[in-house]
Amino acid sequence: MNKCAPIALASIIVFFIGSSFSFAQHLISVATPSGQISILPEVAKLGAGCPKIGSISVNSGVVIDAADICEPARWRNSNKPMATCPARSFPVLGVLFQGRRDWVLAESVVLSKQHFHLRLFGAMEDAHGDRQDIVAIKRVEWCTANASSPSRPELPSDACREPRQFAVAFDYGAPLNNKIFINGFSFYVRVAGHPIDGFDIERAGEDIRSSFGRALTIWTSGLQDNNAMLTPTIRTFIRSRTSTTAGGYTLLTSPQVVQLYCPHAATFIVELNFGGDGTFPNSSLFLTLAKSRLVGRTISLNMRDVACFRTMPEMTNDQVALRDDNCVNLLPVFTHELGHAFGIEHIPSASGWALMNPVLSENATMPTRLDVNAFVSALERSVTGASPGELEFREASGLQAPSDWSFGRK
């Protein structure tokens, strides 16, 4: 399957624009949490992992070998004289990869512990891959008398490239102690096993994005609707996300979510599991709809035994339907699994109706006070959580379907 599928229209306002953008727009596809190494043509910001943290000027002609990125004293100057530019010139970065002779031009380079993230120059694309593939980074001067944009760069064979995305007021900052709950979420759809013939992965991505965004709104609204249950810190957070119109209407701004088409910068991995890896055992007597890593960033949907998932947000008596004649409603399933990701354990059925009961029920397709109380506790815990893609599901984990449901696919 192609790593980098064509991008779909996001549910929030997303811009595909040039290299100049206002402060209110945030680059999503190469955005990474703070504490990484970020290099621009004129300044490098050295973060966690370097002996000294801070900003260092990047002078014209400087060459930074990969092994010396954290040691500015070892950066060297290129011996190659600068060519005369008959027009205007401006600085960009050149990146040299293992086994390549040509330098790939980039507007910025971000390095995490394992990956590189390039904002490709003149391509309206971003590239991601293994940090170990980088040999060196240098500052070069791009002359406007050259071609309007460089030729398509040759990246490492295992690198992934995707269209550049921007969103308004989007960031990956964590407003509370729980670092899994952040101001903006991004996800990558991973496929495990072999999809059935004709499976529409683009449609699946759209449903995941819709349910993900609605689930964030549902959990955040649960906090707003139960103000008396909140701690002072969480109450302040909700106030910061709430605005009131002149007519007295209140608007709660929930965290945004977008889909990425490379996994390297995504804050969540959503897996479509078609079997073959033991995530959903064949010997189970009950239909397990989904699993997620508790205090983590990975959600797996059981596509082997469920004919299809669809987002069905329509409500009747403050509840959504569990399914229709063809598909399971992804919305309550995803909202439940997102609760696990934030750190909420199953709430025993004997305690009362709750979305986080181990069995999906039409009596609690939305968070109840039991769920909100558990959510508040989870948000107040100081946790970092597992990285995206890490599963290690507990033996007893997983959201079960009602006992009268049959397996939709064998």
Residue 160 within a domain: yes
The per-residue pLDDT for range 349-404, each reduced to its tens digit, is 999 999 999 999 999 999 999 999 999 999 999 999 999 998 776 555 799 999 98
Range list of β-strands (E), 264-380: 268-273, 288-292, 298-302, 309-310, 315-316, 319-320, 328-329
Tokens 């170990």 found at = 132
From CA 273, how far away is CA 301, in angstroms rounded?
A: 6
Return the amino acid letter for 61: G
Give me the percent of the chain exceeding a pLDDT of 90. Answer: 70
Residue 294 within a domain: yes
Range scoring the smallest mean pLDDT among 4-18, 252-266, 295-309, 340-354: 4-18
Residue 26 has pLDDT above 90, yes or no: no
Q: How many CB atoms lie within 10 A of CB 204?
A: 21
Residue 141 within a domain: yes
Domain boundary (166, 187, 209) is at: 166
Cβ atoms 381, 176 nearer than 8 A: no
Exposed/middle/buried for residue 87 (C-beta within 10 Å: 0-12, 13-18, 19+): exposed
pLDDT at 166: 80
Cβ atoms 166, 16 nearer than 8 A: yes
162 and 175 fall within a common domain: no
pLDDT band at 147 (very low <50, low <70, confident <90, very high): low
Nearest Cα residue to 121 out of 158, 148, 100 = 148
pLDDT at 396: 52
Residue 255 within a domain: yes
Residue 405 within a domain: no
Domain boundary (166, 195, 230) is at: 166
Residue 199 within a domain: yes
119 and 231 fall within a common domain: no
Cβ atoms 269, 389 nearer than 8 A: yes
pLDDT band at 192 (very low <50, low <70, confident <90, very high): very high
What is the mean pLDDT of the segment spanning 21-47? 69
pLDDT at 278: 86
Give me the percent of the chain exceeding a pLDDT of 70. Answer: 88
Cβ atoms 125, 132 nearer than 8 A: no
- What are the structure tokens assigned to 271, written together? 């897996």
338 and 208 fall within a common domain: yes
What is the mean pLDDT of the segment spanning 153-177? 90
360 and 309 fall within a common domain: yes
From CA 83, how far away is CA 302, in angstroms rounded?
A: 58
268 and 394 fall within a common domain: yes
345 and 365 fall within a common domain: yes
Residue 19 has pLDDT above 60, yes or no: no
pLDDT at 392: 74
Cβ atoms 294, 397 nearer than 8 A: yes
Residue 228: partners with Cβ closer than 8 Å, 6 or more residues away: none
Domain boundary (134, 166, 198) is at: 166
| Residue 365: domain span | 171-400
Provide the domain count of the chain. Answer: 2
What is the mean pLDDT of the segment spanning 209-220? 98
pTM of the shown model: 0.86
Tokens 């330098």 found at = 103
Nearest Cα residue to 264 out of 109, 410, 163, 389 = 389
pLDDT at 32: 52
pLDDT at 20: 35
What is the mean pLDDT of the segment spanning 182-188? 96
The per-residue pLDDT for range 83-125, each reduced to its tens digit, is 788 888 889 999 999 999 999 999 999 998 899 999 999 888 9
What is the mean pLDDT of the segment spanning 32-48? 82
